[in-house]
Amino acid sequence: MKMSDKKTDKKIKNIPQISLGGIPASPGVVIGKVFLLDNEEFSIPKRKIKERDIAYEIARFEEALIQTRSDILKIQEKISREMDSKHAEIFGAYLLVLEDRMVIEEVISRIKKEKLAVEYVFLDVLKNYAKVFSKIKDQYLKERISDVEDVGKRVLRNLIGKRKDSLLDMKDKVIVVAYDLSPSDTASMHKKNVLGFVTDIGGRTSHTAIMAKSLEIPAVVGLENVTKQTKTGDLLIIDGSSGAVIINPDRKTQDKYLNKIERLEKTGHDLLNLKDLPCQTKDSVKVGLGANIEFPSEVESAIAHGADGIGLYRSEFFYLDKKNLPSEEEQYQAYKDVAQRTKPGLVIVRTMDLGGDKFVSHLEIPYEMNPFLGWRAIRFSLARPEIFKVQLRAILRASAHGNLKIMYPMISGVEEVRQANKILEECKKELQGKKIDFDENIEVGVMIEIPSAAIIADTLAREVKFFSIGTNDLIQYSLAVDRVNEKIAYLYEPSHPAVLRLIKMAIDAGHKNNIWVGMCGEMAGEPHFALILLGLGLDEFSMSPIAIPQIKKIIRSVSFEDAKKIAEKALEFSTSKEVEDFARHQLKKLIPEFFE
Ligand code: PEP
Ligand code: MG
């Protein structure tokens, strides 16, 4: 994207530029005009109606519901056609809100009782719902407030005949600025008309951030009040890798970022040329390069960026935004599709990692004071074997069609692996009884993301065929830093000596017991840590597809022997900062163009 419009410069000559810092949600730099997404507040008068108009008001309400349903189905169909069915599934939750009998009956009964116009009653009912939802401590239910509000606005628009500018209808390329973006807004975005987006609220793990990464749209979230500081037509720069956002940048800043975009484009292009070359060091040590995916549709991007397999398939996205639990058949089809498209590359399906910040309301996970330390992941699966077995059977069946592996999340000790494997054996017997094909030798691995697992990695290694280090959680648990809390984000340090030692322990224990050790936490995709991780002996790096080319370049530019020396030196430092500075310095020496 290039913008060298002289007029733009003139217009903003006297407007001071404002620099903001937010949470980087999706990488990439863009410069463009703001499109401030209308935070429409409906002001609806309390209009009295006559007894004889009651039936008419109810009919209007029903008509608006039908119209909204048809609008949503149309959007869902369009997204399914132009993108894929997984992104469109978000709208399933919207249809559920529309069909909520409690809301519908309350509106109809209040119209009859209070003799008020439908718009007013409907808005009031919705407001009360939002109030109730906001008091609920369940994170998943809290997230549903935005679904209810979004659907409510759509119904109101149909009642009063007002249309909202839709992201689907947008013709010009813009940067969307919004207080928050609903999953439907994000799923409607296309790279062709949305250059990027920024929001007042949100965190790294919101649906919105996850969607942005999978759509490869640069985004910064959590800017607090960017919607108050910008207006439609302003010029904006966003850097989704650093979290920098600049409103009405002066010419010098624009030039700086235009250069950066050009450089990134060129580097990105050059790096993609490495796509088909082997991922190995200068002295021919081969390293696995995997992609992390949430949806089957991401396989394409993983391969296009040079992944040789899927190092982490986060299967829990199957369970979110669904009315019912996904069936065995539905899961089987998805795993089979991913396995077939990645073949002969491997696909590591991580069994459901529900709980923590990923809640599914219909599973009735109770409110907990510390959900990250609570009923999460493998703990949930072992407690609900009837749900776990559906997933295991689906993975086993799909294993007949490709190179699938199973990985258990949040393992804290050996018993959990043994219990999970026992359930897996039961599933195998059930399939054998029915003469259903599967890979009898399917390999099972565990995530090393709890400090206890890293410390007893030698014992764990005797139970499994591979490890994958989940640094996102390993860092939060070893440093006691909540991974989604911005206030303590400064303490969330992958380069902390304690983290490095735990990583080393896991790798060494794996190797001593002849199993390979990968990493699927975000740290694996951060360029300045690659040399250290390589030198520590990491066998596989798995990351979001867009991060792959840079890591491949680094691995191909160094010898394993040199990387080992860098890792040894890194382990001698006593602070995170020293490690981080040293790591950056080593990378800069090796590939200066990454820093230009
Ligand atoms: C991790 O914890 O590093 C990981 C990859 O899993 P998730 O981010 O899904 O918790
Ligand atoms: Mg994790």
The 3-state secondary structure of 479-547 reads HCCCCCCHHHHHHCCCCCHHHHHHHHHHHHHHHHCCCEEEECCHHHHCHHHHHHHHHHCCCEEEECHHH
pLDDT of residue 12 exceeding 50, the answer is: no
In this structure, which ligand is nearest to the CA of 357? 1
Give the residue whose CA is nearest to atom 9 of ligand 1: 314
Which residue stretches of 399-470 are H helix?
414-433, 451-455, 457-461
Q: Say whether pLDDT at 186 is over 70.
A: no
Q: If you measure from the C-alpha of residue 585 to the centroid of ligand 2, how many angstroms do you get, rounded to a whole number? A: 29
pLDDT at position 336 over 60: yes
CB distance 521 to ligand 1 below 6 Å: yes
Q: What is the pLDDT of residue 54?
A: 92
CA of 165 to the centre of ligand 1 (A): 36
Ligand 1 pocket, residue 473 CB under 6 Å: yes
pLDDT of 195 higher than 90: yes
Give me the torsion for CA of 64, 70, 76, 77, rounded to 10°. Answer: -160
Active site residues: 207, 520
Which residues have their alpha-adjacent CB atom under 5 A from ion ligand 2? 449, 470, 473
Of residues 531 and 49, more confidently modeled: 531
Query: Is it the case that residue 39 has pLDDT exceeding 70?
Result: no
Q: Helices marked H in 83-206 — which ranges?
A: 85-88, 90-98, 101-114, 118-135, 139-160, 183-187
Average pLDDT (552-567) is: 98
Residue-wise pLDDT tens digits, 470-511? 999 999 999 998 877 667 778 889 999 999 999 999 999 999
Ligand 1 geometric centre to CA of 42 (Å): 40
DSSP code for 355: B
- The CATH number assigned to the domain with range 2-39+166-249 reads 3.50.30.10
pLDDT exceeds 90 at position 578: yes
Question: Whole-prediction pTM value?
Answer: 0.75
Taking domain 51-160, whether its CATH number is 3.40.50.1860 is answered by: no
State yes or no: pLDDT of 577 exceeds 60: yes
Burial classification of residue 95, based on how many CB atoms lie within 10 Å of its CB (0-12 exposed, 13-18 middle, 19 or more buried): middle
Atom of ligand 1 nearest to the CA of 353: 9
Residue 506 to residue 510: CA distance in whole angstroms:
6
Ligand 1 pocket: which of 472, 538, 542 to mutate (most atoms <8 Å of CB)? Answer: 472
Q: Evaluate whether 348 touches 405 at the Cβ level (below 8 Å).
A: yes
Q: Tell whether the model's pLDDT for residue 131 goes beyond 80.
A: no
Ligand nearest to the CA of 520: 1
Residue 146: exposure state from Cβ atoms within 10 A (0-12, 13-18, ≥19): buried
Average pLDDT (283-298) is 93
The contacts of residue 195 (CB under 8 Å, 6+ apart) are: 1, 30, 32, 173, 174, 175, 217, 218
Q: Whose CA is nearest to atom 8 of ligand 1?
A: 472
Which of 313, 378, 447 most suits a substitution to test ligand 1, by most atoms within 8 Å of the C-beta?
Answer: 447
Higher pLDDT, 525 or 93: 525
Q: Is the CB of 314 under 6 A from ligand 1?
A: yes
Q: Give the residue among 194, 131, 202, 138 at the shortest CA–CA distance from 167.
A: 194
What token pair was written down for 34? 């703001």
When pLDDT is cut at 50, 70 and 90, the band that residue 9 belongs to is very low
What pLDDT does 7 receive?
43
- For residue 543, the ligand closest to its alpha carbon is 1
| Cα separation, 104 vs 63, whole angstroms | 12
pLDDT at 46 over 70: yes
Two tokens, residue 214: 């999978």
By mean pLDDT, which of 115-119, 126-130, 292-296, 464-468 is the weakest? Answer: 126-130
Fold for 281-595, please state it.
TIM Barrel (3.20.20)
Domains of the chain by residue range: 2-39+166-249, 51-160, 281-595
